[in-house]
Structure 1
Amino acid sequence: MNREDILNIEAKGCFDFFWNEANTDPTSPGFGLIRDNTAADTRDFASIASVGFGLSAIVIGIEREWITFEEGKKRVLGTMKTFWNHAEETEGFFYHFLDMNTAKKYEASYDCASIIDTSLFLNGALTVAEYFGGEIEALFEKIYKRVDWTKYYNEAQNQYFMGYNPETGGFGAWDMYAEQMMQYILGVASPTHGVPARIYDGFERSLVTYGDYTFYNSPGGPLFTHQFSHAWFDFRDVRDADGVDWFANSVAATLAQRQYAIDNPDGRVGYHANSWGVTACQGPNGYIAYGTPPYKEGIIPEGNDGTIAPAAAAGSIAFTPKESLDMMVYLYEKMPELWGRYGMRDAYNLEGETAWFADRVIGIDKGVTLLMIENYQTGLIWELYGRNHYVKKAAEMLGWERVNA
């Protein structure tokens, strides 16, 4: 099996998750909603972040001829109608989890609507708006213009709130670098309820060094924080007003994680040059945002118990193509237990007497893997997202300039 074949097997498995694990009942208020994960006890709730990745996945499926254009368009149009007409929202922001059948806030969901998960959904919606145009684009415009970003803006701190309650206002803060770069794009470009571009200056940039790599790290150090915004916006050769290269930053963060696995200071059984990468994933003790040092002073990470998430490396393939591909080949050849109908399962852990493999895949991990594989191979999602007029406006407002253009 050659390297490209393995890459394509994983990409097709990721797509199949989004295509198959959706509400496909055209009479249902939840048509188009996509499950958060494949565990047997989670069949009733959808993740809006999963839908965002899934909308983009449909474009990839059409271009790779896994589905027809008409099949994809029908699914996307119905999904967009669900989010305009039925999905429960507050000030235009959707809840993290929705009931698969009613599109109302899932009973076990968080207490407030989610700015980051809404942003992930909107990224997917914007992508399909660019691809299909017409009625789908019109629905995106209505959904996007309904979002009141000012409700999540803490003007005094010049930061986004983490959450918002209509009765008590905002709480928490996006005060450090993490996955929220997309929120600045979407928030400043809003034609109806935008936030000032200076919000981009409001979060703390904390440089850390591990071995030969110096980079801005996120709290706790999971790799998804260096991936998610990059799955849609092409940061290659982009510099902000301070000269920061966020693409190079993600490269360094990814290589630092791999080096940590090679160094293996805690003596983990599964760590080596072709078995590396931690992020938020399903571990033996539940869903945990695993990370690696160095950590910001005062940040207490959830730890690392030897669990490795394939999405950490595979979702970084645009940053570290050789290293990520080397790992995927190793996992394909050496760990057949890791592979299933949707490609690689969410995680594995080789500590203890018996190797542990996740019993599920998770939408956001499959999503970032698929989008980054596509961007690595063709640049499709980067091209669609980057040509949108709101994205272009936001980049200009934020002072992001593309060098060597």
Structure 2
Amino acid sequence: MNKEEILELEMKGSFDFFWKEANTDENSPGYGLVRDGNGEKDEHRASIASVGFGLSAIVVGVDKGWITKDEGHKRALGTLKTFWHNAEHLNGFYYHFLNLETAEKFEAFYDCASIIDTALLVNGAITVAEYFGGEVYEYMDKIYHRIDWTKYYDEERNLYYMGYTEEKGGFGQWDMYAEQLMQYILGVASPTHAVPAKIYKGFDRELRTYKDFEFYATRHNPLFVHQYSHAWYDFENVVDEDGINWFDNSVSASRAQKQYAIDHQDNYPSYGENTWGFTACDGPNGYHAHGAPAYDIDNKPLKNDYGTIAPTAALGSIVFTPDDSLNVLENFYNNIPELWSEYGFLDSFNAEDNDLWVAKRVIGIDKGATLLMAANYQSGLIWKLYMQNKYVKNATEKLNWVKTSK
């Protein structure tokens, strides 16, 4: 089986997660919600980020012929109706985790609505709205209009808050480059509660260096921060006012992770030229935002990798490092059979001390990053739909992002 055929298997498995792990009871208040993962603790816990990726996955499924357009339309419309009518929210922002059956916030985890997870949800809503149009578009529009982005805007610091409650107000800040570029796109383009375009200038751009690679990143540097916004917005030929191309930045960050794995393979048998990818995932000691190369507050090397590799890290970078990512795909499929499941690759593995540990589940956001990036690698499917949206076009203009040709 060649690499492209293996990729197709992984994409189908990823799609199946979103299709099969959703609430399919049309009479349930939580119809269309998608589990955070397929582990025991995920039975009643839905993730709105999973739903965002899952909505876009519907488009991939129809495009591939895995489901009919009528089936996709029904699931997409029903899901958006759930969020408009039933899902618990605060100022239009939804809670990271919801009860799969009731669509109420999952009290065990979060007491504040999530700006980043709401943004992921809206990205998925925009994708299906552009694909199906009609009533699906109308519900996306109503959901987007209701979100009050100003509630998450710290005007004094010119930053987004990370959390908000009616009792506390805003707290925490998105103060460095991470996965939040989508928040600037959606926030400045809001037709009802827009934040000023200058917010994009508010976060720190901390330049990291590893060997020959330079890139902006968070200190702990899990690879997902370089991928999530890119799953929808096509940054490849776009530069901002400072000349930054975020696509090129993700290329450098991805290549740096591969080089880091090569450089440290004597310490961890998991690592190597075709075995790399550090990101937030399950590990032997629980869930952790693994990242490499990582840095402390003084921009000096910091250890944040412990032998755990997640397939979604390299596969989520397939648009940035296609050959390298496909080599990882082939290696994992052919040489680690324990990593394969009904939904494609399991979340992660660790071979420290030559004792193979493999995650027991898949996680929605990880399957989503893999699926959407693979679809963009193959045809630009999700990029084309998202970039044609009028709000996204408006945001590009307001942020003074300029399209270039390479």
Which TM-score applies when normalising by structure 2? 0.98
Secondary structure of the corresponding residue to residue 22 of structure 1: coil
- Cα-to-partner distance string for 1:137-184 (whole Å, 9 max, x where unaligned): 000111000000000000000000010111221000000000000000
- Cα-to-partner distance string for 1:204-245 (whole Å, 9 max, x where unaligned): 000011011011112300000000000000001110001001
Relative distance call for 1:294 and 1:36 in structure 2 (3 A) is: closer
Any conservation in 2 of the 1:49–1:120 contact (CA below 8 Å)? yes
Question: C-alpha displacement at 1:83, in angstroms?
Answer: 0.2
Residue 28 of structure 1 corresponds to 28
Secondary structure of the corresponding residue to residue 110 of structure 2: coil
Q: Distance in 1 between matches of 2:347 and 2:377?
A: 21
Instruction: Give the partner amino acid of 2:85.
Output: N
- Cα-to-partner distance string for 1:316-340 (whole Å, 9 max, x where unaligned): 0000000000010011110111011
1:213 aligns to 2:237 (yes or no) = no
Q: Distance in 1 between matches of 2:370 and 2:265?
A: 28
> Structure 2: which 5+ runs fail to align?
none
Residue 64 of structure 2 corresponds to 64
Residue 342 of structure 2 corresponds to 341
Residue 139 of structure 2 corresponds to 139
Residue 108 of structure 1 corresponds to 108
Question: C-alpha displacement at 1:404, in angstroms?
Answer: 2.0
Question: C-alpha displacement at 1:301, in angstroms?
Answer: 6.7
Residue 321 of structure 1 corresponds to 322
Any conservation in 2 of the 1:95–1:109 contact (CA below 8 Å)? no
Residue 373 of structure 2 corresponds to 372
Any conservation in 2 of the 1:25–1:31 contact (CA below 8 Å)? yes
Residue 306 of structure 1 corresponds to 307
Residue 159 of structure 1 corresponds to 159
- Cα-to-partner distance string for 1:53-105 (whole Å, 9 max, x where unaligned): 00000000000000000001001111000000000000000000000000000
Residue 129 of structure 2 corresponds to 129
Instruction: Give the partner amino acid of 2:346.
Output: R
Q: Distance in 2 between matches of 1:265 and 1:363?
A: 29
Question: C-alpha displacement at 1:269, in angstroms?
Answer: 1.3
Point out the more displaced range, 346-355 or 272-281: 346-355
Point out the more displaced range, 263-272 or 94-103: 263-272
Question: C-alpha displacement at 1:266, in angstroms?
Answer: 6.6
Question: C-alpha displacement at 1:302, in angstroms?
Answer: 7.7
Q: Distance in 2 between matches of 1:302 and 1:145?
A: 42
Q: Distance in 2 between matches of 1:236 and 1:42?
A: 35
How is 1:136-285 mapped onto 2 (pairs within 5 angstroms)?
136-264=136-264, 267-285=267-285
Instruction: Give the partner amino acid of 1:20.
Output: K
Q: Distance in 2 between matches of 1:348 and 1:265?
A: 15
Instruction: Give the partner amino acid of 2:349.
Output: Y
Any conservation in 2 of the 1:290–1:302 contact (CA below 8 Å)? no
Any conservation in 2 of the 1:181–1:229 contact (CA below 8 Å)? yes
RMSD: 1.3
Secondary structure of the corresponding residue to residue 369 of structure 2: helix
Q: Distance in 1 between matches of 2:266 and 2:184?
A: 37
Question: C-alpha displacement at 1:107, in angstroms?
Answer: 2.1
Instruction: Give the partner amino acid of 1:403.
Output: T
Instruction: Give the partner amino acid of 1:61.
Output: G
Q: Distance in 2 between matches of 1:379 and 1:218?
A: 27
Residue 350 of structure 1 corresponds to 351
Q: Distance in 2 between matches of 1:31 and 1:352?
A: 45
> Structure 1: which 5+ runs fail to align?
none
- Cα-to-partner distance string for 1:283-309 (whole Å, 9 max, x where unaligned): 111110001124142589782210000
Q: Distance in 1 between matches of 2:251 and 2:234?
A: 13
Q: Distance in 1 between matches of 2:178 and 2:359?
A: 26
Instruction: Give the partner amino acid of 1:259.
Output: Q
Q: Distance in 1 between matches of 2:144 and 2:266?
A: 46
Residue 15 of structure 1 corresponds to 15
Which TM-score applies when normalising by structure 1? 0.98
Any conservation in 1 of the 2:278–2:313 contact (CA below 8 Å)? yes
Residue 331 of structure 2 corresponds to 330
Q: Distance in 2 between matches of 1:302 and 1:101?
A: 40
Q: Distance in 1 between matches of 2:215 and 2:403?
A: 20
Q: Distance in 2 between matches of 1:27 and 1:13?
A: 27
1:47 aligns to 2:47 (yes or no) = yes
Secondary structure of the corresponding residue to residue 161 of structure 1: strand
Any conservation in 2 of the 1:209–1:294 contact (CA below 8 Å)? no
Secondary structure of the corresponding residue to residue 274 of structure 1: coil
Q: Distance in 1 between matches of 2:204 and 2:383?
A: 26
Secondary structure of the corresponding residue to residue 162 of structure 1: strand
Secondary structure of the corresponding residue to residue 353 of structure 2: coil
Secondary structure of the corresponding residue to residue 78 of structure 2: helix
Any conservation in 1 of the 2:36–2:363 contact (CA below 8 Å)? yes
- The total of aligned residue pairs comes to 405
Any conservation in 1 of the 2:265–2:272 contact (CA below 8 Å)? no
Instruction: Give the partner amino acid of 1:201.
Output: K
